[in-house]
Amino acid sequence: MNRFALMAGLLGAACSLGADPAPTAQDQIVARMQGEWRISLTEQQRRQVRTMRFLTRVPPPTNDELAQFKLTESESKAAIIILNEIRYDPHGERTQQLRTAIDHLEQGELSIGPTRLEVRLGDVKKAGRYEVGATTGTTAHLRLLRDDGKEESVALSLTPQHELVFGEGADSVMFVKR
């Protein structure tokens, strides 16, 4: 028996012995998304957090201090509304809720395993099993079967900068690998 026939026979035997199939493009993209991620705020979001921390400090900033912060027109309008609330009731429930919400903006984690996903954004937590519906390029559309019995569709996209975008549009959140 020549060597080529022997090699072909051995290769055929390996294939018929249940060798794992090669990973698909879908498997590869989902595997790249698996792991532990932390929130990554954009420059605009970081500016908003800084502004909100400035507005909610104790004691609240004066109008002169606010003018020195160089806010845009829309930021100034929002700042005045927030400051009026804080000045009216600096230790009230709504003011405390606002401070807590600001603290949570920088606390976000995403954990993706082979079959399970968990996202934590402050006090909000979603977790459950997922199934991959489809992948397009570097985006995976998942069906999340949440622990609370609800079901939802989630889009995950990898960026060229190795960030992971959770969701789509205005509600999307950016994460970086830990």
Q: Are 128 and 122 in contact (CB under 8 A)?
A: no
Q: Tokens 């018929």 sit at which residue? A: 16
pTM here is 0.71
Residues near 52 by beta carbon (within 8 Å), at least 6 away in sequence: 82, 98, 102, 105
Residue 2, domain member (yes or no): no
Looking at the structure, do residues 31 and 116 belong to the same domain, yes or no? Answer: yes
Report the DSSP beta bridge partners of residue 127. Answer: 118
Residue 154, domain member (yes or no): yes
Give how many domains the chain has, as a whole number: 2
Residue 10, domain member (yes or no): no
Looking at the structure, do residues 113 and 173 belong to the same domain, yes or no? Answer: yes
Distance (Å, whole) CA 113 – CA 159: 19
Instruction: Note the pLDDT tens digit of each residue in 32-78.
Output: 999 999 999 888 888 888 999 999 998 999 989 998 988 899 889 99
How is residue 50 annotated by DSSP? H
Distance (Å, whole) CA 80 – CA 17: 71
The predicted structure's pLDDT at residue 19: 62
* CATH classification of the domain holding 172: 2.40.128
Residue 88, domain member (yes or no): yes
Residue 8, domain member (yes or no): no
Range of the domain at 151: 25-40+108-177
